[in-house]
Structure 1
Amino acid sequence: MWATILITSVLVLVLHEVWTFVNWVWFRPRKMEKLLRKQGLKGNSYRFLFGDARESAKMYDESYAKPIDLNEDHFNRVMPFISKTLRTYGEMSFLWFGPRPCVLITDDELIKTVINNHMVFKKPFKVSNPIARRQIGGLVRYEGEEWSNSKKKLSPHFHLEKLKNMVPIMQKSGERILQQWNKLVPNDGSPTVFDIYPYLPDYSATVLANSLFGIPFTESVKKTFHLIRELTFIALHAQPFSIKGEQYVPTKRYRRANAIEKELTETFTNLMYEKLAQRERGEVNGEPTLHDTLLDDLNEIDIKDKKTRAWVIGEIVYQCKLFFLAGHETTANLIGWTILLLSRHQEWQTRAREEALQVIGDKEKITDDELERLKVVTIELTRVVEDDTPLGDLVLPKGTMVQLLGIHLHRNPKYWGDDALEFKPERFAEGVLKAANGHSAFMPFGGGVRKCLGATMALREAKMFVALFLRSFSFDLSPTYKHGPIVQMNMQPQYGLPLILRKLRV
């Protein structure tokens, strides 16, 4: 009798798991596809389990295999499958992340709706691949009250007064990089060609380590940044959906991801205990850093409550990884692309240099007010709905993903005019809204309540470095440069950024 009950229970459990899997990979996607098509959305027909993943991966491989012309629209290279989908099916289209449909959002008003309703349109970490889930946590992953409380606690570190205090660190870090370049370029004004791009992440990483964590940029810290970038690369090249239990399969990808995660956890845990020990010895001076604020969470936990304490430590590690990743990659690439454009458009390089020399000249100490006076030098989002959700004229079935195509928004002639793809900084002379014909069509750091917390800091860093660079060197794009924008966490030059440099100051 008991044997019969046991066998029956096992069969029921097995049948339940089989049904759950079949429903996930076939019946539910087919039902969602029917609902989307009924509302006028178009896209490829669903293909079992993988959806568009295989075709998309093949297109990325082909796209990244060779450079493109400098004047070619890089959207087709960095997002080839999405670009093809829009060309084939129009702006009312969707694609497949495995067994989940993803609706492409290109309209500025709909993008604003999604951004401003973050409680409804949530980040898709529950459905992304396991490597991405373990890599990104903390503030960017939080929702609801947890997110609100965390942002409230961390926001003061990015207020104006705090940022003003970071300006000397930005200047010192930038000058350290430029001193290295000075050694490579002759004093007689003759040109030298070398790739500047590898230096840029070191600049932004130094600023971040010094100002937000209160630590020097040592070789150990530099290695930590490199490991985080490697983990990002692994996550982005994994399939965009997860199969139950796949993270336990000892593939080469997961073995390396596990090794990196283990090392990062040890590094940030050790960093945490070092800072706590310094506190106890009274060796921490000056204003509390962002790292100090993160560690304050431990003060609220009873030391005997080991389970809760371990969870809090895990969250602190996630937050550290997040700021190490987002805090230097974005800024480094912003600087790189700005310098590329100035090297191609010499008239704007001249105007920017004249402004920099007029405002900061040869000053040994640059102030925040002077950075604010530099005007010429001023320099992708996915969500998932957890219930049937209205969006404009659409009703998105539960589980549908939406992708906000900022890169498409920023180059759409509907908002910017027929010269949308041309380099015309003067279009912003009367503000972003006027430039985009009254539309909110410029969101380089996201928007709404979940706009990037470090946006203002990143812009100050970029301004500082570009201004210092302009007053020290003139530069042209090297003939050896190959144009290959590629998306890692954000867009960066696949083949580096070789420039022809000439000293302006000896």
Structure 2
Amino acid sequence: MEAAGLGLTTKMVVSVVLGGVLGLIVYLYGVLVLHPRRLQSKLRRQGIRGPSPSLLIGNIAEMKKIQLQAPPSTATEHHLPLSHDWPSTVFPYIRQWRIKYGPTFTYSTGNAQLLCITDPEMVKHISLCTSLSLGKPSFLAKERKALFGSGILTSSGANWAYQKKIIAPELYMDKVKGMVKLMVDSTTSLLRSWESRIEKEEGFADIRVDEDLRSLSADIISRACFGSSYSQGKDIFVKLRTLQTVMSDGFLHFGVLGISHLPSKSNRLKWRLEKEIDTMIINVVKERIGAQHGEKDLLQMILEATKNAYAEYDRPFVNMSSDKFIVDNCKNIYFAGHETTATTATWALILLAANPDWQARARAEVLEICKDGTALPDAEMLRNMKILTMVIQETLRLYPVSSFVAREAFEDVKFKDLLVPKNTIIWIPVPTLHQNPDVWGADVNLFNPERFANGIQGACKIPQAYMPFGMGMRICVGQHFAMVELKVVLSLILSKFCFSLSPAYQHSPMFRLVIEPENGASLLMRKV
């Protein structure tokens, strides 16, 4: 009897195990084979083509091969003017497949099926969509979890709508105007150190500006949003920078099933950094809660708004505690508020150094408005800096902060004659649109701020094709903060220094989640 019972139990266990294995196989077959094929078939029937994907990895192997074959893009000051056609070397597969398959094509990275759209008219229609059924890709939120958590940059639907309701009002222009003095104070401190170096080096100094601008932008976002200086939050920014580098190294592998869960060296480092950053931010939050200040910083305002939201709604955030909301959005603000602005300021200085005529024009305007440099810029002065605004806009066109705008269709959605099936990821390469000659004209690869003399509407045929801060209702809530900070930093630098490219500078844009100079940015600087 006991033997028979034992045998029956063993058979049941074996049956359960086999059933589980069979269920896993069926699930994996559905996820890895059936689901991608269904999406590809629906798109193919509408005339959308693309390279044939491989099981598990999609088109990653082909993307790597095309990248290896692409010629490097480097130049020194001896090869002026600089070449701005960097997308063909950084993302060569986009250009190659666009030529082969047309302006709208499909490809995949692992299990992620991407519908790549470079047609400006189609992008216009997508940007006008206000439905919450079109949001940030769910897989991207998982892939970037360590850096952004479930904050405003990666969330979708009601979750995103609630976060925007709390954060966006704190970054409206009327609030940002009150931060100008703080930005001026931080920038003035950096420029004094540059002046000191120039004096010690007999009138000229070779300065690595990208590193200094990154520290400056971190100091500004720290003071404006968290009531502390860069020195106090330095460890957070250093760890975020390391995390950014680690995650950009694996960019092509996003969408590969399970790869983010493997205990690889990079994943273990990513997990450790995520835990350390979260802990440090929690400590900053605790410190701010206990602080008493007459004037509240952004973090305190967000803390109060979050508290009020949780009091008003039973479930204001889907599967998200108030602590997680605060920590994740602090990470979003830390990264988006300092890394992207610093990178844009760096490219602006590089472009002005390579185009001394525009540098002279921008400086003349700044000195006129700021009374020959005797008056520090305020909100009204910044608003009147038209030439500087044009320079920044052209910088963002040639070197946009974000290389891709990504959306996922959570339901079937139609744009013009194209029906985008549910679960398809819409993938819009921003540099391709920003350097489309049909939209911008024959001089599309030249630095020409004059094209923005009559604003964005007058600069190109389809204004929605210009998207340095994203597009549609999900446009960056911090764009006013970023533009004001860029004007403050660049106007003060122009008022005090003349600069040219250092002999050490190599023009080699590369992708590290943002497009930045691979070898940094060294400028020869002297006082005006």
TM-score (norm 2): 0.87
Aligned to 1:193: 206
Hey, what's the Cα distance between the residues in 1 that align with 2:319 and 2:49? 49
Alignment partner for residue 262 of structure 2, among 249, 252, 255? 249
Residue 159 of structure 1 corresponds to 172
Deviation at 1:24, TM superposition (A): 1.8
How far apart are the structure 1 equivalents of 2:295 and 2:367? Answer: 33
Measured at CA, do residues 72 and 35 of structure 1 come closer, stay the same or move farther in structure 2, by a change above 3 Å? Answer: same
Counterparts in 2 of 1:199 and 1:409: CA distance versus 1, 3 Å: same
Deviations, residues 364-400 of structure 1 (Å, cap 9, x unaligned)? 5421101111111111211122333323222223322
Cα deviation code 1:14-42 (max 9, x no counterpart)? 21111111222223323332332222122
* Counterpart contact for 2:111–2:256, Cα < 8 Å: no
Among candidates 102, 113, 117, match of residue 105 of structure 1: 117
The answer for the alignment partner of 1:497 in structure 2 is 521
One-letter identity of the residue aligned with 1:370: M
Structure 1: how far apart are the matches of 2:320 and 2:455? 48
- Are 1:289 and 2:298 an aligned pair? yes
Aligned match of 2:248: 236
Query: 3-state DSSP class of the match of 2:96?
Result: helix
Listed as ranges, the matches of 1:25-174 within 5 Å are 25-60=32-67, 67=74, 70-71=82-83, 73-115=85-127, 116-117=129-130, 119-124=132-137, 126-128=138-140, 130-136=142-148, 137-174=150-187
CA contact (8 A) 2:278 2:327 kept: yes
**Deviations along 1:135-160, whole A, 9 cap, x unmatched?**
22211223233322221222222122
Tell which deviates more after alignment, 29-38 or 265-274.
29-38
Tell me, yes or no, if structure 1 residue 259 matches structure 2 residue 272.
yes
Give the letter for the 1:327 counterpart. G
Q: 1:73 to 1:65 in 2, by over 3 A?
A: closer
1:264-279 matches, within 5 Å, as 264-278=277-291
Change (3 A) 1:262 1:206: same
Match among 327, 337, 349 for residue 339 of structure 1: 349
The match for 2:27 among 16, 20, 23 is 20
- The amino acid across from 2:451 in the alignment is R
User: Are the aligned partners of 1:95 and 1:101 in contact in 2 as well (CA < 8 Å)?
Assistant: yes
Shift of the 26–145 alpha-carbon distance from structure 1 to 2, 3 Å rule, reads closer
* Corresponding residue of 2:331: 321
What is the distance in 2 between the residues matched to 1:72 and 1:369?
33
Aligned equivalent of 1:434, options 458, 464, 467:
458
CA–CA distance in structure 2, aligned partners of residues 53 and 400 of structure 1: 18
Moved more, 156-165 or 352-361: 156-165
**Given that residues 166 and 305 in structure 2 are in contact (C-alpha distance below 8 angstroms), is that contact kept between their aligned partners in structure 1?**
no
Cα-Cα RMSD: 2.5
Distance 1:331 1:166, change over 3 A: same
Gaps of 5+ in 2: 1-7, 393-403
Conservation of the 8 A alpha-carbon contact between 2:501 and 2:524: yes
Between the aligned partners of 1:422 and 1:479, the Cα distance in structure 2 is 22
Residue 99 of structure 1: how far off its partner (Å): 2.5
**Contact 1:129/1:240, CA 8 A, preserved across alignment:** no
Moved more, 377-386 or 25-34: 25-34
Is it true that 1:370 corresponds to 2:381 in the alignment? yes
Aligned length: 493
Question: Is 1:158–1:457's contact at 8 Å kept on the other side of the alignment?
Answer: yes
Asked whether the 8 Å contact 1:212–1:290 carries over to 2, the reply is yes
Aligned counterparts of 1:5 and 1:321: Cα–Cα separation in 2? 49
Aligned-pair CA distance for 1:176: 1.2
Q: Is the 8 A contact 2:413 2:422 kept in 1?
A: yes
1:181 aligns with 2:205: no
- Is the 2:124–2:462 contact (alpha carbons within 8 Å) kept by the matching residues of 1? no
Structure 1 residues 438, 25: closer, same or farther in 2, change over 3 A?
A: closer
SS in 2 for 1:377: helix
State the secondary structure of the residue aligned to 1:207.
helix
C-alpha separation in 2, matches of 1:37 and 1:291: 51
TM-aligned CA deviation for residue 87 of structure 1: 2.5
Question: 1:288-336: per-residue Cα shift (whole Å, max 9, x none)?
Answer: 523442365357769xx9xx99932122111111100011111111111
Distance in 2 (alpha carbons) for counterparts of 1:297 and 1:190: 51
After superposition, the Cα gap between the structure-2 partners of 1:364 and 1:223, relative to the gap in structure 1 and judged at 3 Å, is farther
Structure 2 counterpart of 1:488: 512
Q: CA deviation at 1:462?
A: 0.6
Question: Pick from 350, 363, 388: which aligns with 2:360?
Answer: 350
Q: Alpha-carbon deviation of 1:411?
A: 1.1
Structure 1 stretches lacking a partner, 5+ long: none
Deviation, 1:229, is 1.9
Counterpart CA distance in 1 for 2:201 and 2:497 is 13
Q: Distance in 1 between matches of 2:203 and 2:484?
A: 31
Residue-by-residue CA offset, 1:455-486 (whole Å, 9 max, x unaligned): 01111111111111111111111222111111
The worse-fitting range, judged by mean Cα deviation, of 201-210 and 64-73 is: 64-73
Report the Cα distance in structure 2 between the residues aligned to 1:188 and 1:15, rounded to whole angstroms: 73
Contact 1:409–1:441 (CA under 8 A) maintained in structure 2: yes
TM-score (normalizing by structure 1): 0.91
- What's 1:468 paired with? 492
Which 4+ residue blocks in structure 1 deviate beyond 6 angstroms?
A: 299-302
1:496 positional shift: 0.9
Contact 1:103 1:401 in 2 (8 A): yes
Cα distance, 1:387–1:160 mapped onto 2, change above 3 Å: closer
Change (3 A) 1:129 1:451: closer
CA distance in 1, matches of 2:442, 2:71: 28
* 1:5 positional shift: 4.0
